Amino acid sequence: MAKYSSAASWDPNLLVELLINGEEQVKKLEANLGEQASPEFCRTLAQNIESTFKKAIKMVKLRDQDAGHVLPPFCSNNTTPSLSPESPLSANASPRSETSDRVFKDQERREISKKRKTLPKWSNQVRVNPGAGIEAPLDDGHSWRKYGQKDILGAKHPRGYYRCTHRNARGCLATKQVQRSDSDPTIFDVVYRGEHTCSCEKPLGAVAHAPASQQTGTQQSQYVAGEHQKQQQQQQQQQENQLLLNFQTNLKVKTEGLDMGKHEHDVSSFSFPSTPIGCSQPRHSFFANQANLDNHFMDSFSPTFLSPTTSESNYFSVSPCRMSNLSTGFNHHTAESEFTEIISSVTSAANSPVVDMGFILDAGEFDAFDPSNFF
């Protein structure tokens, strides 16, 4: 963490690590080639490698681009955001002169729209139980409050806008957009923006101990992961597996995205069962998964960092919650540029076209990854 916090903007060393990571991924690919890994997976892995190097290139370019920029739009956790004008907190906590309220509002609006552009952004695809057909907030471990809904041009279904419930209380700027996929009604595209400055305290604890209860009844029922309820004993293990599955699935689909050129959000299916938990213990696993793939790459870069400018180059699967945590630690990386992180998970193995993956987590690696080291 300190490692990164020191890298307020760009660090050649990080680039080197990125490249090294690429190399290691190549090795992994080689290893997988000799095993049972599906050709698809190997291919996606290869694509991932490609994207890794693309990122490296991008990073260099970005560095030049960002040379003029100063600070990330929001600060990391340890430093309370210097309450930008847009900060709800400022609206709440700081006595804003009420006389010129309108003026302030206008200013705020501008600031907000400016800053929002720079907020980290990543997307999920959430698959819900077919038949459940309920527009769901898709609980991901955070409490969201809907503040708008909009019909989107060309989309069959309206897009829902959610912001963190603690926005006012804690100035959490995290927002998300949920939109049902046109092609597959059981899939929701969830775009997250901003990190949860409120998270990882309450949510974490809650998630850690009651992953299932965390989801509302309706939401819970939507998720294909009925096994969550029925197989709670194996919950953790399943989650870990799911995470793995998710990752592979992501890779796969994302690769497709790569193939297509730029598909920011057209990704794979995603499920939340693991997502909420992403904040808690399983996120260990998750990270381990990441670590498995990315090895110390993840140790070196935040996912956000991996997606310097935009979507086109992101093929990392990260739990939103995790993500927020990560970005928390790496704001300086993410903040500068808008990015889209493609995150996806699979709600259930049943939903996953790629259940058996050759992507096996090594216990050693698993244990080796210690979040505490990370932060």
**Chain residues in the site for DNA (CB under 7 A):** 105-106, 109-110, 112-114, 116, 137, 143-154, 159-161, 163, 165, 175, 177, 193
Q: 250-253 long-range contacts, Cβ below 8 Å, gap at least 24? A: 250/315, 250/316, 250/317, 250/342, 250/343, 250/344, 250/345, 251/41, 251/44, 251/45, 251/47, 251/48, 251/315, 251/317, 252/40, 252/41, 252/44, 252/353, 252/354, 253/344
Q: 131 in the Ramachandran plot: left (φ > 0), alpha (ψ -120 to 50) or beta?
A: left
Q: How far is the CB of 69 from DNA (least distance, A)?
A: 16
- By beta-carbon proximity to DNA, the closer residue of 38 and 168 is 168
Between 8 and 155, name the residue whose CB sits nearer to DNA: 155
Q: Which residue has the tokens 């870069």?
A: 301
At residue 146, φ and ψ (nearest 5 deg) are -75, 130
Alpha-carbon distance of 128 to 141, in angstroms, equals 16
Q: How far is the CB of 159 from DNA (least distance, A)?
A: 5
DSSP three-state, residue 5: helix
Q: How far is the CB of 141 from DNA (least distance, A)?
A: 15
Q: By the 8 A CB rule, do 252 and 39 touch? A: no
Nearer to DNA, 145 or 296 (CB): 145
Contact between residue 323 and residue 276 where contact means Cβ atoms under 8 Å apart: no
Expressed in angstroms, the distance from the first to the final Cα of the chain is 5
Least distance in Å: CB of 6 to DNA?
31
Contact 211, 286 (CB under 8 A): no
Q: Dihedral, CA atoms, 306, 136, 185, 234, nearest 10 degrees?
A: 70
Q: Is 10 left (phi over 0), alpha (psi -120 to 50) or beta?
A: beta
- Let me know how long the chain is: 375
Please state the closest distance from residue 364 (CB atom) to DNA, in A: 42
- Closest approach of DNA to the CB of residue 153, in Å: 3
Residue with smaller CB distance to DNA, 106 or 356: 106
Residue 109 token pair: 């609006």
Is the Cβ of residue 9 or residue 92 nearer to DNA in the bound state?
92
Nearer to DNA, 157 or 159 (CB): 159
C-alpha closest to that of 278 among 224, 222, 318: 318
The residue among 131 and 154 lying less far from DNA, judged by its C-beta, is 154
> Which of 194, 159, 161 is CA-nearest to residue 86?
194
- Identify which of residues 138 and 225 has a Cβ nearer to DNA in the complex: 138
Angle between helices 12-33 and 39-65 (to 10 degrees): 170
CB of 149 to DNA, least distance (A): 4
Residue 72 or 137: which CB sits closer to DNA?
Answer: 137
Nearer to DNA, 100 or 237 (CB): 100
Shortest distance, CB of residue 175 to DNA, whole angstroms? 5
Instruction: State the nearest-atom distance from the C-beta of 165 to DNA, in Å.
Output: 5
Question: At closest approach, how far in Å is the CB of 110 from DNA?
Answer: 6
